Amino acid sequence: MIVISNSFVVDNEIKILHSLFDEGLSLLHIRKPDFSELEMAQFIHQIKLEFRDNVVLHSHHHLAKDFGINRLHFSEKERKRLNAFPERFLKPCRSKSTSTHSIEDFNSLENFDYAFLSPVFKSISKENYYPEKDLFEKIKSRKNQQTKMVALGGIDSENIQKILEKGFDDTALLGTIWKNKNPLKQFKLCQKIALMYSQSQV
């Protein structure tokens, strides 16, 4: 299961993140679009070394090597310029991910390990951000089997099983974690439901 950081600073954020990792969080996407290079470096520095391998960097990619991070995420805009990125950013990169907003864009991807496809439901974290089309219908035309399809947008404990049943490979949580009074409790609930579904498919 993937968790995306809140865009803004959260009280006790690093403590919460460490608790999520302790409970089995597999990947943390650090998305802080307004952070300066210094602010990003200070934020990453607070994350324990043992968890750095589970961190995915959305911006200031050049900091990755200094902090032992080898997972990078590229926005839709960056993806279109990816060929212009210096090789030194990509060579040590163990995993590359990106964001898409249509099945057509997802199907056209090459050389990405996984991609967010959003929004699946009305966003919890963004106002007036909701799907214009039924993505569950759209993903029936999936052709790209090399890239993992990760659902994003409006995902919580009430709909996470449906998402997995409908064909998504994984889920990314954002609003349901950071808009909740108890982020850890909500994460564990979503994790439990996803795990139970996964075990039922074996």
pLDDT, one tens digit per residue, over 175-199 is: 999 999 999 999 999 999 999 998 8
- Give which of 171, 167, 148 is closest to 29, Cα–Cα: 171
Beta strand 95-100 pairing with 55-57: unpaired
Q: Which domains does the chain have, with CATH numbers?
A: 2-200 (3.20.20.70)
Q: pLDDT, tens digit, for every residue of 132-171?
A: 789 999 999 999 999 999 999 999 999 999 999 999 999 9
